[in-house]
Structure 1
Amino acid sequence: MTPLMSDITVNGETITAALIASEAQNHPAPRSKPGMPWMAAARALAFRALLLQKARSMGLVPEPRQVAEGQYETDEEALIRQVLDVALDPAEPSQQDLRAAYEAAPDRWRAPTLYEAAHILFPVRPGDGAALATASTAAGAVLAELQRDPRGFERLAREHSACSSRDNGGRLGQLISGDTVPEFETVLDELAEGSITPEPVLTRYGLHIIRLDARAEGAILPFEAVAPRIREMLEKAAWARAGREFMAELAREAEVTGITLVAA
């Protein structure tokens, strides 16, 4: 087994343990697998070295592009992009490919679902355990009152909600898919129309008591309307496959010590 915390080499080029340790800070560290960030960092740096070596062998000169206002690629980032631009040439998806992707999962191409909902918000900053406990007590008391008299929702929203919608009795108006955070929208998809959540719902904004007034699932869109989106999806998938194959080929042809880049 290759030991952690050691230098690796890629075609004779050394990548030091110190550099790998620095890069490892950018990779997740599951408690059960403390060595995972190190291995991920080592592989990332090894593949970066392979791409830059390939750029040099191709005689490429860096041509940095602007990636944001006042921000440009580094020379190394530009070289890696240029290598991939030259090396990757996946086939364009055909009209038949587009049609097959559409027919394989037509539900994927629906118009947005429409919702009419109301909520009562008890704000909590992420990670603030004391505030969460306080909000849970307050939300529980309001929810208990709603369970006795659901018709009191608007009054309770005006009295307790920290959202500006309180002035409208908690009503959020008409929402479409994507208007709310995923954890909130998941509840909107699961609630029966006219019902109130049996427990407060935690999102990044705090605890919510949610009432769903109406839901209208979007119709499946015609193929012609979504063909450009399907083409973009297939092009991205093809580019990703081509990239993986190209990197695997570089790894197979390389002399690497200290880490395994290609499975046996």
Structure 2
Amino acid sequence: MVDVLDHSPVIVNGREISAAMIAAEVQNHPATDAVEAWAAAARALVLRQLLLDEADRLDIVSDELTDAEGRTLAEEDARIEALLEQEVQCPAADEAVTRRFYDQHLDRFTSPTLVEAEHILFAASPDDALAYGLATGDARTTIRALQAAPESFAVLAQKHSACPSKEQGGNLGQIGPGQTVKEFEDVLLKLPAGALHPEPVKTRFGVHVIRAGRRVEGQQLPFDLVHEKIAQYLEEASFRRAVSQYLSILASAAKIEGVEISGADGPLVQ
């Protein structure tokens, strides 16, 4: 947490971080209000200056380093990276560690359930009560027609649907979690294969008639398939914690004015 009092001068080890520098940094810290954004920006610059001061103390030179996209880092960024590489050590996540994590979080390592979706959309804005009501009535009428003649789904979709999928008889293909709006997904993923939902489904796009096609149930992913990703996740989390601790040590040993820092779990370690 950082408190910036009336935009007081921010000074780290005798070196001022100007208000102009903080103002320029604010754009990188979206927040609910200007005070919060200013505080986050000031804090990020304080942490950065602590790292640069420590790099100076240890005579860390700037090697040519690149980021994850292969772009060459600026000199100060390269010095910070070199400092962290030298001073922050984290153990590798071996197979025993990754296996234990896998066994404790089996629910995280499953393939998603996929359901082939068919729908007919009666477009209407939820803000237009009359149009939304008419669309709901049309959807109910269509559901009754489909209950009487299930084979007519494609024909009715081509005739009535406001979705481009009408050209495929209302078929959207396979849908998995997170691929459509929640109201639609909640209904579709619970339907048995071949089942027509008996009620209209309302979303921000309008009112839907939904039928489920073929289901492919989620399966447990084998450890061998995910262990490398688990190791990467655990090592990154360990590195973030170690950097946070390292920054806390630097902050406790530094003279900082204008900003109060408790903890160092900031943007440099996320």
**Separation (CA, whole Å) in 1 of partners of 2:7 and 2:231:** 44
Is residue 62–residue 76 contact of structure 1 (8 Å, CA) maintained in 2? no
The structural deviation recorded for 1:76 is 2.3
Q: Which residue of 2 aligns with 1:143?
A: 139
Q: Which residue of 2 aligns with 1:37?
A: 37
Bigger Rg over Cα: 2
Which of 4, 24, 27 matches 1:25? 27
Change (3 A) 1:182 1:61: farther
Deviations 1:75-100 (CA, angstroms, capped at 9, x unpaired): 22222222222222211123221121
Is residue 64–residue 72 contact of structure 2 (8 Å, CA) maintained in 1? no
Is residue 155–residue 169 contact of structure 2 (8 Å, CA) maintained in 1? yes
> Which deviates more from structure 2 when the two are superposed, residues 182-191 or residues 60-69?
182-191
Is residue 183–residue 201 contact of structure 2 (8 Å, CA) maintained in 1? no
What does 1:172-211 align with in structure 2 at a 5 Å threshold? 172-176=172-176, 180-181=179-180, 183=182, 186-187=185-186, 191-193=190-192, 194-196=195-197, 198-202=200-204, 206-207=205-206, 209=208, 210-211=210-211
The structural deviation recorded for 1:233 is 1.7
Q: Which residue of 2 aligns with 1:128?
A: none
Q: Which residue of 2 aligns with 1:65?
A: 66
The structural deviation recorded for 1:186 is 4.4
What does 1:105-184 align with in structure 2 at a 5 Å threshold? 105-120=105-120, 133=127, 137=132, 139-140=135-136, 142-150=138-146, 151=150, 153-161=153-161, 163-176=163-176, 180-181=179-180, 183=182
The structural deviation recorded for 1:121 is 5.5
Change (3 A) 1:149 1:101: same
TM-score by length of 2: 0.76
Q: What letter matches 2:186 in structure 1?
A: V
Is residue 136–residue 207 contact of structure 2 (8 Å, CA) maintained in 1? no
Q: What letter matches 2:53 in structure 1?
A: Q
Aligned length: 250
1:246 and 2:246 are equivalent in the alignment: yes
What does 1:95-114 align with in structure 2 at a 5 Å threshold? 95-114=95-114
Is residue 191–residue 212 contact of structure 1 (8 Å, CA) maintained in 2? no
**Separation (CA, whole Å) in 2 of partners of 1:120 and 1:3:** 57
Q: What letter matches 2:142 in structure 1?
A: L
Is residue 5–residue 21 contact of structure 1 (8 Å, CA) maintained in 2? no
Aligned alpha-carbon RMSD (Å): 3.2
Change (3 A) 1:121 1:5: farther
Is residue 177–residue 185 contact of structure 2 (8 Å, CA) maintained in 1? no
**Separation (CA, whole Å) in 2 of partners of 1:50 and 1:176:** 46
**Separation (CA, whole Å) in 2 of partners of 1:25 and 1:208:** 40
**Separation (CA, whole Å) in 2 of partners of 1:7 and 1:160:** 65
Q: Which residue of 1 aligns with 2:221?
A: 221
**Separation (CA, whole Å) in 2 of partners of 1:256 and 1:27:** 21
Change (3 A) 1:160 1:55: farther
* Unmatched runs of 5 consecutive residues or more in structure 2: 264-270
Q: Secondary structure at the match of 1:260?
A: strand
Higher RCO (Cα < 8 Å, 6 or more apart): 2
The structural deviation recorded for 1:48 is 1.2
Q: Secondary structure at the match of 1:21?
A: helix
**Separation (CA, whole Å) in 2 of partners of 1:222 and 1:9:** 53
Q: Secondary structure at the match of 2:213?
A: strand
* Unmatched runs of 5 consecutive residues or more in structure 1: 125-130
Q: Secondary structure at the match of 2:24?
A: helix
Change (3 A) 1:170 1:76: farther
**Separation (CA, whole Å) in 2 of partners of 1:86 and 1:200:** 56
Change (3 A) 1:66 1:91: closer
Q: How many percent of aligned residue pairs carry the same amino acid? A: 33
